[in-house]
């Protein structure tokens, strides 16, 4: 029997409920598994292959029972290949039980990056940090809420790729350092799964009152056993936000006028070639 595991991030919170979060981050209402395991015979190489097919636009970690971790990028991922005498031969492996988790383990401790405010330049925004305590755990995690008006446009705080969501009103952005920003309490999303998103790009409309944003990454420290995470396997963090003069971690409620996004923030995840093109285009348009 095959089984899969979808992660729900928030056990409970006073202002952002687990039900609200589940609709955004979980894919529990998806009729088919997000990551499928198949075994296929390749006639060209005369081998049997184990393949994980990821139907999302962001990567996942797959943990196969009794085996190691695999990274499953969007699309087909051949993780094993064994020569066999014929198509009828088993090749000594078949489909097996597995779990999967959105994200991949960062290759090094995430730098966390720097972020912009999720509102238009010149508008006033109120930032409020929140602490989440998980049921049956001493762990505490954090997220930020931003007090804005209903139907205000919400802007991407950092660039990346949009992932699948459990409903159409939330947005999940996977950043280049394998962290995520998860935008909740949205009335409408402007981006679709698979879209490349730039910092400062409109991504949706606020549902009213507040928009909540969680910042997190899949943490290998919570995978003490290979077959499954021992507990909730994500670490949340409070990011550094550009306030117009410096980058600040907000640990208490504060109101700010949203500043322009500086070039250094726009270019933080770009390659050297991309930075060169960006600056060239900017100078050309002056």
Which residues, in sequence order, are CB contacts of 105 under 8 Å at separation 6+? 61, 69, 178, 218, 219, 220
pLDDT tens for each residue of 149-206: 888 999 999 999 999 887 767 899 999 999 999 998 888 899 999 999 999 999 999 8
Summarize the confidence of residues 76-84 as an average pLDDT: 88
| pLDDT in the model for residue 11 | 34
Can you tell me whether residue 66 is helix, strand or coil? coil
Summarize the confidence of residues 65-79 as an average pLDDT: 88
Domain ranges of the chain: 30-102, 114-264
| pLDDT in the model for residue 14 | 43
pTM for the full predicted model: 0.86
| pLDDT in the model for residue 192 | 92
Phi and psi angles of residue 209, each rounded to the nearest 5 degrees, phi first? 85, -65
Query: Which residue, among 177, 26, 176, has the nearest Cα to 101 in the 3D structure?
Result: 26
Residue 17: is its pLDDT beyond 70? no
Q: CATH assignment of 114-264?
A: 2.70.70.10
| pLDDT in the model for residue 88 | 63
Query: Which residue, among 211, 98, 196, 230, has the nearest Cα to 145 in the 3D structure?
Result: 211
Distance (Å, rounded) from C-alpha 141 to C-alpha 217?
A: 12
């Amino acid at each position: 029997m095959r089984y899969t595991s979808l992660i729900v991030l928030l056990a409970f919170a006073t202002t952002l409920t687990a039900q609200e979060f589940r609709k955004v981050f979980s894919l529990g209402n998806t009729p088919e598994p997000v990551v499928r395991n198949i075994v296929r015979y390749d006639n060209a190489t005369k081998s049997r292959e184990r393949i994980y097919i990821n139907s999302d636009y962001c990567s996942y970690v797959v943990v196969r029972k009794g085996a190691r971790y695999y990274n499953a990028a969007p699309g087909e991922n051949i993780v094993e290949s064994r020569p066999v005498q014929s198509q009828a031969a088993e090749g000594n492996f078949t489909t097996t039980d597995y779990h999967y988790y959105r994200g991949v383990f960062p290759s090094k401790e995430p730098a966390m990056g720097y972020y912009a405010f999720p509102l238009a330049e010149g508008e006033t925004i109120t930032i409020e940090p929140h602490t989440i305590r998980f049921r049956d755990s001493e762990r505490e995690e954090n997220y930020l809420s931003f007090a804005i008006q209903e139907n205000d446009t919400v802007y991407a705080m950092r660039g990346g790729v949009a992932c699948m969501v459990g409903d159409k009103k939330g947005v999940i952005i996977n950043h280049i350092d394998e962290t995520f920003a998860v935008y909740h309490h949205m009335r409408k999303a402007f981006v679709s799964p698979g879209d490349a998103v730039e910092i400062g790009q409109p991504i949706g409309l606020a549902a009213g009152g507040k928009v909540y944003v969680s910042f997190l990454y899949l943490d290998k420290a919570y995978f003490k056993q290979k077959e499954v995470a021992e507990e909730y396997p994500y670490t949340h963090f409070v990011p550094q936000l550009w306030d117009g003069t410096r980058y600040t971690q907000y640990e208490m409620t504060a109101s700010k006028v949203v500043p322009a996004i500086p070039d250094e923030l726009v270019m933080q995840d770009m390659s050297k070639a991309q930075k060169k093109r960006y600056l060239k285009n900017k100078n050309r348009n002056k």
